Amino acid sequence: MNEFVLALGWFGLYAPVALGAIGSAWGCALGGSAAIGAMLDSDGGYGRFIGASLMPSSQVIYGIVIMFTLQRETMSAEAGAAMFGIGVLAGFALMYTGIRQGEVLASAIHASKAKPEIFGVSLAPAAVLEGFSVFALVFALVLAGSIPT
C-alpha cells in the first residue's frame, strides 16, 4: 500500500508538466493552424498572428514551476498523497485551459484577419483563460507550502 501511494506521489509530481505540455502543444497547434491559414490570406501582420498562436505555451511553464514546488528531498506516503491530489488536478486545469485557449486564439486570429482593428480586444478571452491557469498555479504553490517535508 505504501509503495502504491509513493507511486501516486511521483505521478502527481510529474503530472503538471506532462498535462501542461499536452495542453500547450494542443493549444499552440490550434492557434498555429489558424495563423498559417491567416498568413495565406494576408499581406502582412504575420508576426502578430504567430505571436498570438504561441500564447498557450505558458501552461507547460506553469507546470514546471508546480513540479519544482512540489518536489521534496525524499518521497513519503503523506507527501505522496498530497502531491498526487495537487499535481494531477493542477495538471488537468493547465491542460484544459491550454486547449481552450488555442480554440479562442484560432477564432481571434480568424476574426482579426477580417477586421484588424479588433486584434487586441479579440485576445481578451484568451487572456481570461490565462488568468485561470495562473489561479491553478498560484493555489497549487500555496497548498504545496503545507505539504510535510
Partner 1 sequence: MSDKFRYITLISSLPYLGKLFSQKSVPVSEFRLRERLKMLDDGHKDLLEKVISVTAWAGVAKLDTDADVVRLAETVIDAVHEYPALQDLVRVRMETRTIIAALRRRQHGDQSAGDIHTWGYGRWRTRISDNWSDPSFGMGHFMPWIAEANGLMRKGDHIAMERLSLTEVFRQLDRQAATHAFDFEAVVIYVLRWTIVQRWSTYNGEAAATRLRKLIDQALKTAPDLPGPPLGATQQEEAPA
**The amino acid at 108:** A
**Residue among 4, 7, 78, 115 that touches partner 1 (CB under 8 A):** 115
Asked if residue 41 lies in contact with residue 113, where contact means CB atoms within 8 angstroms, the answer is yes
Q: Is 126 among the residues that bind partner 1 (CB under 8 A)?
A: no
**The amino acid at 83:** M
Nearer CB in complex with partner 1: 28/90? 28
Asked if residue 81 lies in contact with residue 5, where contact means CB atoms within 8 angstroms, the answer is yes
Question: What's the CA gap between 9 and 70, in Å, rounded?
Answer: 10
**Residue among 17, 34, 89, 123 that touches partner 1 (CB under 8 A):** 34
Q: Is 52 among the residues that bind partner 1 (CB under 8 A)?
A: no
**Angle at the Cα of 58 (from 97 to 42), degrees rounded to 5?**
90
Q: Is 33 among the residues that bind partner 1 (CB under 8 A)?
A: yes
In degrees rounded to 5, what are phi and psi of residue 146?
A: -100, 5
**Residue among 1, 2, 3, 114 that touches partner 1 (CB under 8 A):** 114
Q: Is 40 among the residues that bind partner 1 (CB under 8 A)?
A: yes
In degrees rounded to 5, what are phi and psi of residue 76?
A: -110, 165
Q: Is 35 among the residues that bind partner 1 (CB under 8 A)?
A: yes
Q: Is 45 among the residues that bind partner 1 (CB under 8 A)?
A: no
- Contact residues toward partner 1 (CB under 8 A) are 29-30, 33-38, 40-41, 106-107, 109-110, 113-115
